[in-house]
């Protein structure tokens, strides 16, 4: 069986000869045997393009080519490009065409080939040429612009003063990023999970003998081996929650298809997969609980028999008499429904962990793909029983996450525990199928609301009934995001009365996790429903919003739920978008094109409020930064954050450099290592700019106080006269008198070895920092094909003072494209037995270059009262786009009487809506409505 | 996502490949571009003790033109798009090839693989039927079949265990054409339609709506009778009923695609008349 073959090829110009198994893919050969890790594997089925390399002069997907097929070939990877891709690499850097960088090597390979084949590509050429390279972070804007700029440097807008290019890019462009799959200490063993294919049932047989006997298999663990040794697996905020326990592996019962049943450890991933195949498993299936609506009442079919109900949480705010009267007797009362489908974060990099336990030292070291290394450290300590002081977590580069990797997952923790038990180094890289079926799902909300309005269309009050599907195991803080939707539902509008009911139910499906804006449904439901209300009362949706949106003189505004809204500009952003779209003109054109050509144009608007840096969200409501002055005068910032695409190494360096008035290049950021950095929150919940940024400022202030004292001594002036000025500490009254940071550092180090000039800064978030945005778009719906084309997309946003405008735009563009994906394409689907139907990126289609619109931005900068004046904005793009695109399509459809109340609005759903409306006829004049 | 073990052979002539097939009858798979087969192997939906790699068989990769356009099964899609002989002789084939996946896939995928894979929602089988192509199958002997007889079901063809698809022949014909797929972009489609209008010869093919590319006879008759695109598409639905294709959204998609393709093909035909 273990046939080996000799293969000879040239890799990056060097001859290579090796023995390989025929089934080794070229990608694995390059990565594992040659240690060329720029080439990434994000799907292993030809869909993502991350593994693109060049073979004999043409790009190929190295996951779909066997190493033996490259016999005699010339292979080039991103590591070998060197100067060859310089124009494109430089353009990607300048245009912020890189965020997490996981897709970047593939983009370089294909983009380079494109430029060679088409030296003067049109935008369409670029989009077509790169449609096989998925990027989940950037929204493709910077990538498409970069290719255009590389072809024609004159077309490049050039770097903006306010937006320095990212310092993360250099290593990512050179293929020297270090993602978890790139970490392979000597002696690494590989893990694969056996997972249930049944949604609900009792495990009657699990036979691992044949798997254990397979050559190359080191261990096979089942629940009996690991569960008794596992500590609490829940994330820190849920430690005291009363709920059924979460254990490493399913013991006697499975609760969703995808649930882990056994864990195999083998010499390589191929063998691990072979061993998984050999495990015999029998599960007696039971009827699964799948429909969240039905699950509430169901007492026969229960996800947890012992709980007697599938209802997980319920929270009701009382409907006071005034609201009740309004909802019953107001001049206009409108009911609306909004349903959001199950979606997946689908970061390009799946989850992964490399965990080593050394029985001699008792130390456990783990590299993880995580947003939150310190939380991972605590969680690994709890689960494995290794004291926290002896756990070290590193996370260098993270290939996207969007909430999926905030809390350390069950599977990563199980692998760390297995490493502890075996005393070995174990590596698990989630397959795309696992990622789409067993990591975490999101959205899955149903909202039903009633709005009471007066004759003029002013909203008097509303009530929201919100049902959330949590899946089989509620994980993370998501249990708290649900009630939050009701709390912020009224958003940026003058709605004096409001009440809500929130319920979440368990179902036999993949657990719900956090996804960019766990609270997004507040925006999605409200904005979709407002359009429905506008249609019901016969008012233009822009006009309805104008009548109800909060104006500048109404702030601060206390929402009915007692949350206070301030320093926001919803009315201004609304007007910006209306002006940019030339709203009245679009409406005229819409009518004209329908009347004259039968074409369906739609306009959508959505206003969003983004709650960020939330002071009640322990423990991620605070952060710590440490700044150290090195002997050469440069500053190192030690932060608990990580490199997941948000450009933290750049933006936090900017903050520190500005506070200390030193050169940006004089500041280095160290993050993603729990041994090197103070405890902190990681990235997430749009908190970095405000919370980590303010911690950096606090540390800088502390450092300055110390530096001023030292400089004062040096200069022989009082400390009050010293100020930082362009890289030195200078006497305010004598421009010639100054002392450098290096000199100060040396002064301190003279006190003893290891003595450094350094300072710690802490910050705790205020109750809430709101950013706001208004999205507007124009779409055309194809009446025959049911497809949607986005003509224009405008975002007017206010995230306070921007640290880096390009980073802000990149975050919005990435979020918007995920929102577009959610509105039009993406849906996690199960069959009637609860078996997943979307197991790969071919089935779970995320947007490509071809679906990504160009986005026009308007920035308003209203400072928040936090130290830097920033407001978190990492998530709102997704929420705004989900509603805005839905509204535009619904607006188009409404012209012919077709109605929709749920996403995704894919061709099937749109054509069905036409059919239901009896308006399938392509040209109203040409034929009578078709018989259905 | 790692394939089960297999052995690998890379013959250098089609005769060798056929001999290997005969030797390992039923236990071997041919590997062409691998763009369909490799993902199936990696997810272990398909297992094969032996892979016979056709990529080193030069006599399977060619484009030639005499009375017909003759294309070797191993010809890559990217070449079909660009080859002047193909573009002149079967422009619809060149256009369809450019839609069959992103560049990296088309750099590797082959015409023979695309037909032998017989994906019901793929455009190339539909184009082969629409252009009245003929496939050449080689095993112990040589057989020729019209494309319409080659496709037997979803992922099922007339190839038997010991045969390989060696070449595909296309008649040279002047015609206006259009291909429409949903979504309208390179990569996997839900459904689509191909229209070829060459004088008296009007061919319509729907894909994605059934297990094999389907020629709707009633719709073709309606078209011949001068019906408007929407009516032709309506007639095609009756054809789908007759073929036992269940009433579902793919039908609606195919219908939309057909209407659109008819519009476009007729516009091209008019242009050709105007300018020709
Ligand atoms: C991201 C992506 C998008 C794609 N989009 C599309 C698309 O839009 N449209 C589309 O049509 N395809 C699409 N494909 C599929 C791709 O074009 C297929 O690879 C192609 O259809 C099969 O060709 P291949 O040469 O790669 O065949 P292989 O994958 O090598 O083989 C496919 C099957 O055919 C058999 N076979 C191959 N050659 C022969 C032969 N000469 N004789 C007998 N049997 C043979 C093999 O044994 C195998 O069963 C896509 C693929 C990917 C990865
Ligand atoms: S890993 Fe090869 S295309 Fe995704
Ligand atoms: S930057 Fe493209 S996937 Fe993250």
Q: Which two tokens stand for residue A252?
A: 């006697």
Does the pLDDT of residue A590 top 60, yes or no?
yes
Query: To the nearest whole angstrom, how far is the Cα of B54 from the nearest Cα of chain A?
Result: 10
Per-residue pLDDT, averaged over A119-130, amounts to: 97
Query: To the nearest whole angstrom, how far is the Cα of B184 from the nearest Cα of chain A?
Result: 9
Does the pLDDT of residue A319 top 90, yes or no?
yes
What residue owns the CA closest to ligand 3's atom 2?
Answer: A135
| Edge-to-edge strand ranges of the sheet holding A14-20 | A14-20, A5-11, A74-76, A52-55, A58-61
Which pLDDT belongs to residue B103? 98
Q: Among A146, A177, A208, where does a domain finish?
A: A177
What residue owns the CA closest to ligand 3's atom 4?
Answer: A100
Within 10 Å of residue A552's Cβ, how many Cβ atoms? 11
> What is the third-level CATH fold of B7-53?
3.30.43
CATH number of the domain where residue A27 is located: 3.10.20.30
Which pLDDT belongs to residue A82? 76
Q: Rounded to the nearest whole angstrom, what is the distance from the C-alpha of residue B117 to the centroid of ligand 1?
A: 6
Question: Whose structure tokens read 């032998």?
Answer: B116
Q: Which two tokens stand for residue A434?
A: 């696992």
| Edge-to-edge strand ranges of the sheet holding B176-182 | B176-182, B191-198, B201-207
Q: Rounded to the nearest whole angstrom, what is the distance from the C-alpha of residue A335 to the centroid of ligand 1?
A: 50
| pLDDT digits 0-9 by tens, B253-262 | 999 999 999 9
Q: Rounded to the nearest whole angstrom, what is the distance from the C-alpha of residue A89 to the centroid of ligand 2?
A: 21
Instruction: Name chain A contacts of B103, Cβ cutoff 8 Å.
Output: 59, 110, 113-114, 129, 132
State the pLDDT confidence band at A478, using cuts at 50, 70 and 90.
Answer: low
Q: Which two tokens stand for residue A45?
A: 């089925």
Query: To the nearest whole angstrom, how far is the Cα of A705 from the nearest Cα of chain B?
Result: 56
Which pLDDT belongs to residue B276? 46
Does the pLDDT of residue A55 top 90, yes or no?
yes
Could you tell me if A64 and A111 lie in one domain?
no
- Tell me if residue A147 falls in helix, strand or coil: helix
Helices (H), A430-497: 432-434, 478-487
Could you tell me if A686 and A814 lie in one domain?
no
Could you tell me if A243 and A390 lie in one domain?
yes
Residue A486, CB half-sphere, CA atoms under 13 Å: how many?
Answer: 26
Per-residue pLDDT, averaged over A482-492, amounts to: 93
* Nearest residue to A779 (alpha-carbon basis) of A874, A858, A707, A884: A884
Instruction: Name chain A contacts of B186, Cβ cutoff 8 Å.
Output: 128, 131-132
Instruction: Name chain A contacts of B51, Cβ cutoff 8 Å.
Output: 22, 66
Q: Does the beta carbon of A63 lie inside 6 Å of ligand 2?
A: yes
Instruction: Name chain A contacts of B107, Cβ cutoff 8 Å.
Output: 58-60
Separation between Cα atoms, residue A473 and residue A465, nearest integer Å: 23
Nearest atom, ligand 1, residue A842 CA? 1
CATH number of the domain where residue A200 is located: 3.90.1170.50
What are the pocket residues of ligand 3 if the criterion is a CB atom closer than 6 Å to any ligand atom? A 98-103, 135-138, 348, 400, 645
**Does residue A133 belong to the interface with chain B, where contact is any CB pair within 8 Å?**
yes
**Ligand 1 pocket, mutate which of B3, B32, B58 (most atoms under 8 A from CB):** B32
Total domains, chain A: 5
Structural domain contains residue A488: no
Of residues B241 and A617, more confidence is placed in B241
Structural domain contains residue A562: yes
Query: What are the sequence ranges of the domains in chain B?
Result: 7-53, 58-171, 176-275
Could you tell me if A373 and A433 lie in one domain?
yes
State the pLDDT confidence band at A922, using cuts at 50, 70 and 90.
Answer: very low
Which pLDDT belongs to residue B272? 74
What residue owns the CA closest to ligand 2's atom 3?
Answer: A46
Q: What is the pTM of this model?
A: 0.96
Q: Kindly indicate whether the domain formed by B176-275 is annotated with CATH number 3.40.50.150.
A: no
How would you classify the pairing of strands A442-453 and A459-471?
A: antiparallel
Structural domain contains residue A814: yes
Separation between Cα atoms, residue A758 and residue A638, nearest integer Å: 11
* Nearest residue to A198 (alpha-carbon basis) of A290, A297, A274: A290
Bridge partners for A189 per DSSP: A426
Query: What is the tally of helices (H) and strands (E) in chain B?
Result: 12, 13
CATH number of the domain where residue A637 is located: 3.30.365.10
Are residues A133 and B228, on separate chains, in Cβ contact within 8 Å? no
Sort A562 into a burial class: Cβ within 10 Å, 0-12 / 13-18 / 19+.
Answer: exposed
Give the one of A58, A787, A912 whose C-beta lies nearest to B182's C-beta. A787
DSSP secondary structure letters along A478-525 = HHHHHHHHHHTTTTTB---EEEEEEEEEE-SSPPB---S-TTTHHHHH
**Does residue A44 belong to the interface with chain B, where contact is any CB pair within 8 Å?**
yes
How would you classify the pairing of strands A253-254 and A442-453?
A: unpaired
Could you tell me if A753 and A773 lie in one domain?
no
Does the pLDDT of residue A497 top 50, yes or no?
yes
Q: Does the beta carbon of A656 lie inside 6 Å of ligand 2?
A: no
| pLDDT digits 0-9 by tens, A724-764 | 999 999 999 998 899 999 999 999 999 988 899 999 999 99
| pLDDT digits 0-9 by tens, A334-368 | 999 999 999 999 999 999 999 999 999 999 999 99
Which pLDDT belongs to residue B250? 84
Q: Among A120, A152, A177, where does a domain finish?
A: A177
Q: Does the beta carbon of B126 lie inside 6 Å of ligand 1?
A: no
Q: Does the beta carbon of B48 lie inside 6 Å of ligand 1?
A: no
Could you tell me if A386 and A435 lie in one domain?
yes
Structural domain contains residue A241: yes
Could you tell me if A160 and A14 lie in one domain?
no
Nearest atom, ligand 3, residue A98 CA? 1
Could you tell me if A355 and A225 lie in one domain?
yes
* Nearest residue to A227 (alpha-carbon basis) of A214, A241, A245: A245
Q: Are A790 and A853 in contact (CB under 8 A)?
A: yes
Structural domain contains residue A834: no
State the pLDDT confidence band at A686, using cuts at 50, 70 and 90.
Answer: confident
Q: Which two tokens stand for residue A818?
A: 């995920």
Does the pLDDT of residue A928 top 70, yes or no?
no
Domain membership of residue A120 as a residue range: 83-177
Residue A235, CB half-sphere, CA atoms under 13 Å: how many?
Answer: 27
Query: To the nearest whole angstrom, how far is the Cα of B74 from the nearest Cα of chain A?
Result: 15
Q: Does the beta carbon of B183 lie inside 6 Å of ligand 1?
A: no
Query: To the nearest whole angstrom, how far is the Cα of B236 from the nearest Cα of chain A?
Result: 14
DSSP secondary structure letters along A551-616 = PGGG-SEE-TTS-EE-S--HHHHHHHHHHHHTHHHHHHHHHHHHHHH--EEEEEEEEEEEEES-TT
Instruction: Name chain A contacts of B53, Cβ cutoff 8 Å.
Output: 66, 69
**Ligand 3 pocket, mutate which of A48, A111, A137 (most atoms under 8 A from CB):** A137
Nearest atom, ligand 3, residue A107 CA? 2
Structural domain contains residue A305: no
| pLDDT digits 0-9 by tens, A534-580 | 999 999 999 999 999 999 999 999 999 999 999 999 999 999 999 99
| Angle at the Cα of A144 from the Cα atoms of A141 and A146, rounded to 5 degrees | 105
Are residues B230 and A68, on separate chains, in Cβ contact within 8 Å? no
Separation between Cα atoms, residue B156 and residue B150, nearest integer Å: 9
Bridge partners for A194 per DSSP: A262
Nearest atom, ligand 1, residue A61 CA? 53
Query: To the nearest whole angstrom, how far is the Cα of A113 from the nearest Cα of chain B?
Result: 10
B15 contact partners, CB below 8 Å, separation of at least 6: none
Nearest atom, ligand 2, residue A46 CA? 3
Question: Least CA distance to A844: which residue of chain B?
Answer: B188
Could you tell me if A897 and A870 lie in one domain?
yes
Residue A594, CB half-sphere, CA atoms under 13 Å: how many?
Answer: 17
Percent helix, percent strand, percent coil in chain A, to nearest 5: 35, 25, 40
Give the one of A25, A132, A839 whose C-beta lies nearest to B102's C-beta. A132
Could you tell me if A814 and A901 lie in one domain?
yes
Q: Which of the ligands is closest to the CA of residue A63?
A: 2
Give the one of B1, B230, B252 whose C-beta lies nearest to A433's C-beta. B1
Structural domain contains residue A408: yes
Q: Among A390, A408, A439, where does a domain finish?
A: A439
Instruction: Name chain A contacts of B5, Cβ cutoff 8 Å.
Output: 1-3, 21-23, 270, 274
Does the pLDDT of residue A132 top 80, yes or no?
yes
Are residues B107 and A58, on separate chains, in Cβ contact within 8 Å? yes
Q: Are A825 and A842 in contact (CB under 8 A)?
A: no
Structural domain contains residue A327: no
Per-residue pLDDT, averaged over B17-44, amounts to: 97
Instruction: Name chain B contacts of A930, Cβ cutoff 8 Å.
Output: 234
Could you tell me if A645 and A608 lie in one domain?
no
Does the pLDDT of residue A139 top 70, yes or no?
yes
Which pLDDT belongs to residue A481? 74
State the pLDDT confidence band at A157, using cuts at 50, 70 and 90.
Answer: low
Does the pLDDT of residue A932 top 50, yes or no?
no
Pick the CATH number of B58-171 from 1.10.150.120, 3.40.50.300, 3.30.465.10, 3.40.50.150: 3.30.465.10
What residue owns the CA closest to ligand 1's atom 27?
Answer: B113
Q: Does the beta carbon of A65 lie inside 6 Å of ligand 2?
A: no
So what's the ipTM on this one? Answer: 0.97
**Ligand 1 pocket, mutate which of B28, B54, B96, B109 (most atoms under 8 A from CB):** B109
Per-residue pLDDT, averaged over B256-273, amounts to: 88
Q: Does the beta carbon of B112 lie inside 6 Å of ligand 1?
A: yes
Per-residue pLDDT, averaged over A46-71, amounts to: 98
| pLDDT digits 0-9 by tens, A236-260 | 888 877 777 889 999 999 999 999 9
| pLDDT digits 0-9 by tens, B55-108 | 999 999 999 999 999 999 999 999 999 999 999 999 999 999 999 999 999 999
**A243-252, A384-393, A683-692: which has the highest mean pLDDT?**
A384-393
Min mean pLDDT across A277-281, A789-793, B239-243 is at B239-243
Could you tell me if A760 and A771 lie in one domain?
no
Query: To the nearest whole angstrom, how far is the Cα of A476 from the nearest Cα of chain B?
Result: 28
| pLDDT digits 0-9 by tens, A170-207 | 999 999 999 999 999 999 999 999 999 999 999 999 99
Question: Least CA distance to A62: which residue of chain B?
Answer: B104
Nearest atom, ligand 2, residue A62 CA? 2
Are residues A785 and B182, on separate chains, in Cβ contact within 8 Å? yes
Does the pLDDT of residue A502 top 90, yes or no?
yes
Q: Are A642 and A398 in contact (CB under 8 A)?
A: yes
């Amino acid at each position: 069986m273990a046939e080996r073959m000799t293969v000879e090829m040239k890799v990056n110009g060097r001859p290579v000869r090796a023995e390989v198994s025929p089934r080794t893919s070229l990608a694995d050969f390059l990565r594992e045997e040659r240690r060329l890790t720029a080439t990434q594997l994000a799907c292993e089925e030809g869909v993502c393009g991350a593994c693109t390399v060049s073979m004999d002069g043409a790009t190929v997907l190295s996951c779909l080519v066997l190493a033996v097929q490259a016999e005699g070939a010339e292979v080039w990877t991103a590591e070998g490009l060197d100067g060859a891709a310089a124009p494109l690499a430089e353009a990607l850097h300048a245009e912020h065409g890189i965020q997490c960088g996981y897709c970047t090597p593939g983009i370089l390979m294909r983009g380079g080939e494109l430029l060679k084949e088409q030296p003067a590509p049109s935008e369409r050429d670029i989009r077509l040429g790169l449609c096989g390279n998925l990027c989940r972070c950037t929204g493709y804007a910077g990538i498409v612009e970069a290719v255009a700029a590389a072809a024609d440097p004159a077309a490049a807008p050039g770097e903006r003063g306010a937006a320095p290019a990212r310092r993360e890019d250099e290593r990512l462009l050179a293929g020297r990023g270090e993602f978890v799959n790139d970490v392979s200490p000597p002696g690494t063993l590989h893990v694969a999970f056996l997972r249930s294919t049944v949604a609900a049932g009792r495990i009657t047989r699990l036979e691992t003998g044949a798997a254990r006997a397979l050559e190359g298999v080191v261990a096979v663990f089942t629940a009996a081996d690991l569960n008794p040794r596992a500590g609490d697996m829940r994330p820190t905020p849920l430690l005291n929650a009363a709920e059924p326990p979460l254990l490493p592996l399913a013991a006697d019962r499975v609760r969703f298809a995808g649930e882990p049943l056994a864990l195999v450890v083998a010499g390589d991933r191929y063998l691990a997969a072979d061993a998984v195949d050999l495990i015999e498993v029998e599960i007696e299936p039971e009827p699964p609980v799948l429909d969240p609506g039905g699950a509430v009442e169901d007492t026969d079919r229960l996800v947890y028999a012992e709980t007697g109900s599938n209802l997980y949480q319920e929270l009701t705010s009382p409907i006071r008499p005034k609201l009740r009267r309004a909802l019953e007797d107001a001049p206009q009362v409108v009911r609306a429904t909004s349903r959001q489908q199950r979606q997946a974060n689908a970061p390009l990099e799946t989850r992964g962990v490399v965990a080593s336990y050394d029985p001699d030292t008792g130390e456990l070291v783990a590299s993880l793909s995580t947003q939150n290394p310190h939380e991972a450290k605590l969680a690994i300590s709890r689960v494995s029983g290794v004291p926290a002081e002896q756990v070290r977590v590193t996370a260098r580069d993270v290939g996207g996450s969007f909430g999926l990797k905030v809390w350390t997952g069950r599977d990563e923790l199980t692998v760390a525990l297995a490493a502890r038990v075996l005393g070995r180094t174990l590596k698990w890289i989630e397959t795309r199928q696992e990622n789409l079926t067993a990591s975490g799902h999101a959205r899955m909300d149903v909202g039903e609301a009633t709005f009471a309005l007066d004759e003029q269309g002013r909203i008097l009050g509303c009530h929201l009934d919100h049902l959330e599907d949590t899946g089989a195991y509620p994980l993370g803080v998501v249990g708290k995001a649900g009630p939050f939707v009701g709390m912020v539902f009224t958003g940026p509008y003058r709605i004096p009365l409001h009440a809500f009911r929130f319920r979440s139910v368990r179902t036999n499906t993949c657990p719900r996790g956090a996804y960019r804006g766990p609270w997004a449904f507040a925006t999605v439901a409200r904005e979709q429903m407002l359009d429905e209300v506008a249609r019901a009362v016969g008012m233009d949706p822009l006009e309805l919003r104008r009548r109800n949106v909060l104006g500048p003189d109404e702030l601060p505004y206390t929402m009915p739920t007692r949350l206070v809204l301030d320093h926001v500009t919803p009315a201004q952003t609304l007007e910006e978008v209306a002006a940019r779209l030339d709203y009245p003109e679009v409406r005229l054109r819409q009518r004209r094109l329908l009347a004259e050509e039968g074409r369906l144009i739609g306009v959508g608007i959505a206003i969003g409020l983004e709650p960020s840096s939330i002071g009640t969200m322990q423990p991620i409501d605070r952060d710590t930064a440490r700044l150290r002055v090195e002997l050469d005068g440069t500053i190192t910032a030690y932060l608990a954050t990580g490199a997941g695409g948000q450009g933290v190494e750049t933006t936090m360096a900017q903050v520190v450099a500005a506070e200390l008035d030193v050169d940006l290049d004089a500041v280095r950021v160290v993050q993603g290592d729990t041994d090197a950095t103070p405890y902190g929150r990681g990235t997430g919940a749009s908190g970095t700019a405000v919370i980590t940024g303010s911690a950096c400022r606090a540390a800088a202030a502390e450092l300055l106080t110390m530096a001023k004292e030292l400089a004062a001594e040096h200069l022989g002036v009082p400390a009050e006269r010293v100020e930082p000025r362009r890289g030195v500490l200078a006497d305010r009254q004598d421009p010639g008198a100054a002392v450098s940071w290096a000199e100060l550092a040396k002064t301190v180090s003279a006190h003893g070895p290891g003595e450094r000039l350094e300072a710690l800064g802490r910050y705790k978030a205020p109750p809430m920092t709101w950013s706001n945005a208004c999205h507007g778009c124009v779409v055309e719906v194809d009446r025959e094909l049911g497809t949607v084309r986005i003509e224009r997309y405008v975002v007017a946003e206010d995230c306070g003072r921007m640290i880096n405008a390009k980073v802000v735009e990149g975050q919005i563009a990435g979020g918007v494209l995920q929102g577009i994906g959610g509105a039009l394409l993406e849906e996690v689907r199960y069959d009637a037995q609860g078996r997943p139907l979307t197991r790969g990126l071919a089935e779970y289609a995320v947007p490509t270059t071809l679906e990504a619109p160009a986005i026009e931005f308007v920035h308003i900068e209203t400072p928040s009262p936090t130290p830097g004046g920033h407001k978190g904005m990492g998530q709102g793009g997704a929420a705004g786009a989900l509603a805005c695109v839905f509204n535009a399509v619904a607006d188009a459809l409404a012209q012919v009487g077709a109605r929709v109340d749920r996403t995704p609005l894919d061709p099937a759903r749109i054509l069905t809506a036409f059919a239901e409306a009896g308006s399938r006829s392509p040209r109203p004049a040409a034929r009578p409505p078709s018989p259905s | 996502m790692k394939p089960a073990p297999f052995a690998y052979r890379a013959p250098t002539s089609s005769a060798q490949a056929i001999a290997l097939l005969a030797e390992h009858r039923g236990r071997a798979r041919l590997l062409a571009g691998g763009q369909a087969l490799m993902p199936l192997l990696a997810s272990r939906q398909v297992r094969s003790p032996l892979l016979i790699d056709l990529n080193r068989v030069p006599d399977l990769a060619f484009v030639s033109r005499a009375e017909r356009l003759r294309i070797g099964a191993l010809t890559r899609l990217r070449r079909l798009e660009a080859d002047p002989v193909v573009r002149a002789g079967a422009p619809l084939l060149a256009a369809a090839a450019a839609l069959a996946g992103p560049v990296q896939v088309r750099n590797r995928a082959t015409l023979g693989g695309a037909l032998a894979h017989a994906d019901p929602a793929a455009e190339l089988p539909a184009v082969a039927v629409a252009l009245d192509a003929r496939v050449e199958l080689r095993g112990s002997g040589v057989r020729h079949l019209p494309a319409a007889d080659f496709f037997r079901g979803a992922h099922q063809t007339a190839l038997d265990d010991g045969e390989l698809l060696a070449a595909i022949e296309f008649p040279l014909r002047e015609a206006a054409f259009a291909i429409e797929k949903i979504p309208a972009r390179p990569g996997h489609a839900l459904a689509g339609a191909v229209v070829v209008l060459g004088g008296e010869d009007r061919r319509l093919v729907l894909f994605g709506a059934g297990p094999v590319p389907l020629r709707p006879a009633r719709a073709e008759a309606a078209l011949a009778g001068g019906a408007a695109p929407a009516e032709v598409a309506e007639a095609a639905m009756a054809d789908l009923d007759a073929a036992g294709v269940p009433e579902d959204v793919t039908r609606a998609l195919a219908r939309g695609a057909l209407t659109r393709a008819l519009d476009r093909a007729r516009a091209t035909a008019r242009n050709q008349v105007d300018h020709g």
